[in-house]
């Protein structure tokens, strides 16, 4: 590639990013990026924590109790609370995506209604779970 | 004039019969995880605050071992496919992109093996 074409390519117009100053924030785009963010968050922390817990359990009572002690420290509690919201949100919004994949609920009003249902249901479920489970940890 | 490659006709595949594995894999693993996540929530409710013995017995039961293995397999496949797309979309510099894709595959593989070994050990303790 010559210097000239390289320069031309860099100056090519880009399609505007969905999130930024080009579009005003919309329910659909915000939930979409939140779906990705929650997915990445669950992949890194949720999956690792699940494997850690399973390994500790398989190693016997001493290792298991050590793991539970670690998980009851307050930074771990904050992480568990966030994971709790993330899994409800990602699961429910994932169902919203799967319904779209069948060609249904694609009208803006329907998609936004489903978005609000997902937000309310996942927040409520997370708060209820944290209130109930928080007492045990 | 037929512009199709004769091999494509010989295999009997249309244009959409390959190249959709990623998309389908993401959806199938998502569908599988709907009942499995419900089982996971049930499991958390069933074992939370219970002594070690109760949790160990729970995971030594056949049905729970099978469901735990299914969840781990579907989950790590979903993770690998999902993180792959995120990296493809946002990381554009080589060799960083390739390194990250390989790390994601390693993470998914190591996580699957470790979790399955733990589940099998628990199953054999029963």
**Percent with pLDDT over 70 in chain A:** 95
DSSP-derived secondary structure letter, A103:
T
Q: Which of B37, B121, B122 sits opposite A91 (nearest CB)?
A: B37
State the Cα–Cα distance between residues A109 and B92, nearest whole angstrom: 35
Confidence at A134, pLDDT banded by 50, 70, 90 = confident
Protein fold of B20-125: 3 helical TM bundles of succinate and fumarate reductases (1.20.1300)
Q: A interface mutation test: which of B73, B91, B115 has the most A CBs within 10 A?
A: B115
State the Cα–Cα distance between residues B48 and A72, nearest whole angstrom: 12
Residue of A nearest to B55 (CA): A57
State the Cα–Cα distance between residues B108 and A107, nearest whole angstrom: 36
Q: Is the pTM of this model over 0.95?
A: no
pLDDT at A123 over 60: yes
User: What average pLDDT does this structure show over A14-42?
Assistant: 86
The confidence score (pLDDT) of residue B67 equals: 98
Model pLDDT for residues A43-81, shown as the tens digit of each residue = 999 999 999 999 999 999 999 999 999 999 999 999 999
The confidence score (pLDDT) of residue B35 equals: 98
Model pLDDT for residues B80-121, shown as the tens digit of each residue = 999 999 999 999 898 999 999 999 999 999 999 999 999 999
Q: Buried b / exposed e across A84-107, counting CB within 10 Å, b at 16+?
A: bbbbbbbbbbbebbeeeeeeeeee
Protein fold of A28-134: 3 helical TM bundles of succinate and fumarate reductases (1.20.1300)
Taking the Cβ of residue B36 and every Cβ of chain A, the question of whether any pair is shorter than 8 Å is answered with no
Confidence at A108, pLDDT banded by 50, 70, 90 = very high
The confidence score (pLDDT) of residue A91 equals: 97
The confidence score (pLDDT) of residue B17 equals: 56
CB contact under 8 Å between A57 and B111, yes or no, is: no
Of B87, B110, B111, B108, nearest to B99 (Cα)? Answer: B87
The confidence score (pLDDT) of residue A137 equals: 59
Q: Which of B33, B55, B79 sits opposite A57 (nearest CB)?
A: B55
User: What average pLDDT does this structure show over B51-66?
Assistant: 95
**Percent with pLDDT over 90 in chain A:** 72
Q: A interface mutation test: which of B118, B119, B121, B125 has the most A CBs within 10 A?
A: B118
Query: What is B43-86 written as a DSSP string?
Result: HHHHHTT--HHHHHHHHHSHHHHHHHHHHHHHHHHHHHHHHHHH
User: What average pLDDT does this structure show over B119-124?
Assistant: 96
User: What average pLDDT does this structure show over A109-122?
Assistant: 96
Residues of A in contact with B79 (CB under 8 A): 43, 47
CB contact under 8 Å between B118 and A136, yes or no, is: no
pLDDT at A41 over 60: yes
CB contact under 8 Å between B118 and A54, yes or no, is: yes
Confidence at B1, pLDDT banded by 50, 70, 90 = low
Taking the Cβ of residue B119 and every Cβ of chain A, the question of whether any pair is shorter than 8 Å is answered with yes
């Amino acid at each position: 590639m010559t210097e000239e074409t390289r320069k031309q390519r860099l100056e090519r117009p880009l399609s505007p990013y969905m999130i930024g100053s080009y579009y005003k924030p919309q329910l659909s785009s915000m939930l979409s990026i939140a779906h990705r963010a929650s997915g990445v968050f669950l992949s890194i922390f949720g999956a690792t924590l699940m494997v850690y817990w399973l390994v500790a359990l398989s190693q016997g009572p001493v290792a298991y109790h050590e793991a539970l002690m670690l998980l009851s420290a307050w930074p771990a509690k904050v992480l568990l609370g966030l994971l709790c919201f993330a899994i409800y949100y990602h699961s429910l919004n994932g169902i919203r995506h799967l319904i779209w994949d069948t060609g249904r609920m694609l009208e803006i009003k329907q998609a936004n209604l489903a978005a609000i249902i997902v937000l309310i249901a996942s927040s409520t479920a997370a708060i209820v779970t944290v209130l109930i489970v928080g007492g045990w940890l | 004039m037929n512009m199709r490659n004769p091999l494509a006709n010989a295999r009997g595949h249309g244009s959409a019969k390959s190249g959709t594995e990623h998309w389908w894999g993401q959806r199938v693993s998502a569908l599988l995880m709907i009942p499995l996540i419900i089982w996971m929530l049930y499991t958390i409710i069933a074992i939370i605050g219970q002594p070690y013995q109760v949790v160990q017995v729970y995971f030594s039961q056949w049905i729970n071992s099978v469901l735990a293995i299914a969840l781990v397999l579907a989950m790590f496949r979903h993770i690998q496919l999902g993180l792959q797309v995120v990296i493809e979309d946002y990381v554009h510099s080589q060799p960083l992109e390739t390194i990250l894709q390989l790390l994601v595959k390693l993470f998914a593989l190591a996580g699957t093996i470790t979790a399955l070994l733990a589940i099998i050990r628990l199953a054999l303790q029963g």
